Amino acid sequence: MNRRKKIVAGNWKMNLNSQQVLKLMQALNRSEQEFDCDVIVFPPFVYLVDVIDFANGGGRISVGAQNCAATENGAYTGEVSPAQLADIGVEYVLIGHSERRIYYNENHSFIADKLKCSLANNLRPVFCCGEPQIVREAGEQLTYVKQQLVESLFTLKTEEIGQVIVAYEPVWAIGTGLNASAEQAQEMHTFIRHQIAEHYSLAIANEIQILYGGSCKPGNAAELFACHDVDGGLIGGASLIAEDFLNIISLAH
């Protein structure tokens, strides 16, 4: 056992309408289930204020944004700054999700800027990394993820890195129903922790929570969460269904 508290985080992506958000939050708030882990939800921007209100009512769910700007403020039409998110009560932000890297061409240095800007505005980043299928097939996943770490995450100072949560999300597992095996997840999570230890310190590496994401479901969460270096999950599809999300939460302790 390690001392790290587990986290179960739900990435709702561009799903749900206001009625569905209400139903989901009511189900999460009303459940009598004890939470032994930290629970975070990442709703679409337009529902953040409502979800923060619901979450405050229940008192046991934190709220994050799925994205943020890389700059403090100014003429960036359509962007939302970390300061604005923090201002309405958002505590976390997803940075470097593969969907943003792939569909919006977010590169390492842009992701590094977002990390710095969110930390400077008291938002805790969940830094997502992970290899595409072609890289896994070539057996190059460790080198690939190392580059993501070095070029974005490791640009942070020692005093900043402790605020970050890492999420290992193999791209081939996201939304495909094909999760990484416990062995594959553990191998990568240990690798990431070693890299953090080498770059910063063993003490820092041992504190940082590293989540697994990619088709994590009630049926596979227990095995994944039992891995020594897996500190919980970032859940996409299954976080939209209250029963499944609560089930996964019950497996994180």
Active-site positions read 97, 169
**211 near ligand PEP, rule: CB under 6 A:** no
Residue nearest to ligand PEP (CB): 236
CB atoms within 10 A of CB 142: 15
Q: Which residues, 6 or more positions from 20, have their beta carbon under 8 angstroms from its beta carbon?
A: none
When binding is defined by CB under 6 A, the residue of 237, 248, 249, 250 that contacts ligand PEP is 237
Q: Which are the contacts of 71, defined by CB distance < 8 A and separation ≥ 6?
A: 79, 81, 113, 117
Nearer to ligand PEP, 94 or 156 (CB): 94
**From 11, 152, 195, 220, residue interacting with ligand PEP (rule: CB under 6 A):** 11
Asked whether 189 and 229 are in contact (CB, 8 A), the reply is: yes
Please select the residue that binds ligand PEP; options are 186, 215, 220, 250, rule is CB under 6 A.
Answer: 215
Q: Among 85-93, 105-113, 189-197, 228-236, which window interacts with ligand PEP (CB under 6 A)?
A: 228-236
Question: 47 vs 245, which CB is nearer to ligand PEP?
Answer: 245
Strand partners, 48: none
Count, residues near ligand PEP per rule CB under 6 A: 13
Q: Cβ 157 to ligand PEP, closest distance in Å?
A: 27
Span 161-200, contacts to ligand PEP by CB under 6 A: 169, 174-175
Check residue 234 for interaction with ligand PEP (CB under 6 A): yes
The stretch among 29-37, 191-199, 229-237, 242-250 that binds ligand PEP (CB under 6 A) is 229-237
The DSSP secondary structure of 180-221, one letter per residue, reads PPHHHHHHHHHHHHHHHHHHS-HHHHHH--EEEESS--HHHH
Among the listed residues 235, 248, 249, 252, the single contact to ligand PEP using CB under 6 A? 235
Residue 190 φ then ψ, to 5°: -65, -40
123 versus 200: smaller Cβ distance to ligand PEP: 123
DSSP assignment of 107-169 equals -HHHHHHHHHHHHHTTPEEEEEE---HHHHHTT-HHHHHHHHHHHTGGGS-HHHHTT-EEEE-
Q: Which of 130, 170, 213, 232 binds ligand PEP (CB under 6 A)?
A: 213
Work out the burial of residue 95: count CB atoms within 10 Å of its CB; fewer than 13 is exposed, 13-18 middle, 19 or more buried: buried
Q: Is position 214 an interface residue for ligand PEP (rule: CB under 6 A)?
A: yes
Minimum gap (Å) between residue 218 Cβ and ligand PEP: 12
Q: Taking the mean position of all CA atoms in its chain, how far away is CA 181?
A: 19
Residues that bind ligand PEP (CB under 6 A): 11, 169, 174-175, 213-216, 234-238
